[in-house]
Chain A
Amino acid sequence: QQQVKQSPQSLIVQKGGISIINCAYENTAFDYFPWYQQFPGKGPALLIAIRPDVSEKKEGRFTISFNKSAKQFSLHIMDSQPGDSATYFCAAPDRGTYSGAGSYQLTFGKGTKLSVIP
């Protein structure tokens, strides 16, 4: 069972600035790396995910960069807004016990609490 190391643990960014969160994994069942966003008292929700054969994916102000050789991926939030203040989790898939495609569970990083100040 792998570990996913996420940093920093907390991050304070000025409004309009760039927020960068990094993750490193040990092994993975396949190349699928999601980022989840969680607001206080709520369940996490998928923010953005990257799939095989691409090194970068951009959706609006959010970008995932993936470095397969280094086993690292990162989340960049451009033009950070106070509404982005939340906890962010990266995750990597571990092969599940069941056989067959799609049998896996996600191992999560410990989270990064982002605060965007006006």
Chain B
Amino acid sequence: DGGITQSPKYLFRKEGQNVTLSCEQNLNHDAMYWYRQDPGQGLRLIYYSQIVNDFQKGDIAEGYSVSREKKESFPLTVTSAQKNPTAFYLCASRLAGVAGELFFGEGSRLTVL
């Protein structure tokens, strides 16, 4: 079945450690996105990428980094510079060139102790 796979689903880390969240899609989508979700804050865009080897900052990119070396993969690193990293992280993808459906993964819940 086609879809978006995020891993791990739950992650605990100590303050000051970098963490990388995985996002893989087999939908052959060009565009991929990372959103952060906090209670009452909706979905806020961290980074997005329309093509391989290129990506753009979203609204809350500080303290995060991404790479897009392959079309199907868009990992997110939460660095120690992110002041409040505990959140639910969602990866999404869609076909470029159309105003079409954004498909989401199941999310990764990061808790920093």
CB nearest to B92 among chain A residues: A43
Name the A residues within 8 Å of B51 (CB-CB).
Answer: 98
Residue of A nearest to B40 (CB): A110
Q: Which residues of A contact B33 (CB under 8 A)?
A: 105
Within 8 A of B (CB), among A71-118: 89, 93, 96-98, 100-111
Interchain Cβ contacts within 8 Å, total number: 65
Chain A residues positioned under 8 Å from B103 (CB to CB): 46
Set of chain B residues within 8 Å of A102, measured between Cβ atoms: 95-99
We find that the number of chain B residues with CB closer than 8 angstroms to chain A is 29
- Count contacts on A: residues with CB < 8 A to the other chain: 32
Which B residues contact A (CB, under 8 angstroms)?
4, 33, 35, 40-45, 48, 50-51, 56, 58-59, 90, 92, 95-99, 101-107
Known: A34-B101, A49-B101, A105-B33. 20 other contacts (CB 8 A): A30-B99, A41-B106, A41-B107, A43-B90, A43-B92, A43-B104, A44-B90, A97-B56, A98-B51, A98-B56, A102-B95, A102-B96, A102-B99, A103-B50, A105-B45, A108-B35, A108-B43, A110-B41, A111-B40, A111-B42
Chain A residues proximal to chain B, CB less than 8 Å? 1, 6, 9, 30, 32, 34, 36, 41-46, 49, 51, 89, 93, 96-98, 100-111
